[in-house]
Structure 1
């Protein structure tokens, strides 16, 4: 029987995961539990007004790059030539380089903690660091940069929101409860939080959902940060050594094949 694997990340970010899943002969069930809304907020405008002052620019996701280039298409031409750029993860770096940006740092550990470790080797005292991202992200990175002596310009470049139409998510929850989903992937803490929030709002048994995600459905997180949220809900899960979509899917099918 064909395995059915749920993808909870936004649809525009699901192409690679869908291809990896289908290459294993499985069905990809794309049901985003969050949407990414690009926005030209006041804080992003402030960052762009000061981009010629920046010593560092940090991209923590592809969405931040998409947002800047959507609202400021001449960004590269006007960027301070001395500004250095860091990204979390190779995918974000790849997108940045395709936009004409030179990447100076990609941490080995694709997390905020990994990036902080890299910056601990660099003198950030009195440096100006721009960090465009969603304000729903963890505060550990900007706080650490400030502790290193940097002036941090934190800019909201996109919002992570629950989809307005929740019907597909409710159907996914029902399918998990009915044991019709073989595996599920979570690529950020909010993909987990929103699933449970919608389950509660629609009076689904969250204890039973935890039990099914822990036993009947193989739950895979992209890395330990998302895994920590699953721990908080009591969901048994696994995550790969390298925090990439490909490694996540490969791990999932190794585990599924071992069960057969």
Structure 2
């Protein structure tokens, strides 16, 4: 059996782990980021740092937030005196590498999962800081506010249209030439930007449905694939490794 060629669309600075897993599982990775991330020292981030003593909780939704804080405010994390919630194992591990304790990580690695956990624990009337990208969904802050909490939002990084559009166009060309077996998406923007770059969106969607196995990291990303009419699968646990293991299991079952 030949090894599958798997397209990775996640940001370049987050892609190494995904590429390594593909190779470990016996495939070939093709990297074509459809999203770029850039740490930013925004005014709202400055204000969050200045108000750190007001915080009862801080929520980290991605490793990039921690990278940004360490870049602009290297003493911030070690000076925190509040509880910490995270979404996802990778973010949790990075928090622990800073010598901090993770107080809450939902089983469901989504904003909805975190809100449910806050509600289950009756966490209310708290001041909660959320440093993240400005393009993130409003679900988390709105949900926490509905529980009676005060939320301080801060832009820690920007989610940008891919700087290297040529790499994405080359990926689309490989898809058209039947040189890609599977494609992965790890966020709504990785999907949106992928189709934004494509000249013939309906043709591309047809090729994905007919020739490729499309795997996304979870239901939030899946909703955007639904918009484009893409057939997909996603794992029960929303991590890159679980996504890749499901991809290879499914691909091998379909190609035995």
TM-score, with normalisation over the residues of structure 1?
A: 0.95
| Distance in structure 2 (CA, Å) of the matches to 1:149 and 1:160 | 29
Cα distance, 1:210 vs. partner?
0.5
The residue number in structure 2 matching 1:128 is 127
Alignment of 1:1-260 (within 5 A): 1-80=2-81, 83-199=82-198, 204-260=199-255
Tell me how large the CA RMSD over aligned residues is.
1.1
Cα distance, 1:163 vs. partner?
1.9
Contact 1:189 1:229 in 2 (8 A): yes
Cα distance, 1:151 vs. partner?
1.1
Once the two structures are overlaid, the 10-residue window that deviates more, 229-238 or 16-25, is 16-25
Aligned length: 254
Once the two structures are overlaid, the 10-residue window that deviates more, 162-171 or 111-120, is 162-171
| Distance in structure 2 (CA, Å) of the matches to 1:24 and 1:148 | 43
Cα distance, 1:107 vs. partner?
0.2
Cα distance, 1:15 vs. partner?
1.6
| Distance in structure 2 (CA, Å) of the matches to 1:87 and 1:8 | 23
Partner-residue secondary structure (3-state), 1:252:
helix
Structure 2, gaps ≥5 residues long:
none
Runs of 4+ in structure 1 deviating by more than 4 angstroms, as ranges, are none
- Alpha-carbon displacement from aligned partner over 1:93-113 (angstroms, at most 9, x marks no partner): 000110111100010000001
TM-score, with normalisation over the residues of structure 2?
A: 0.96
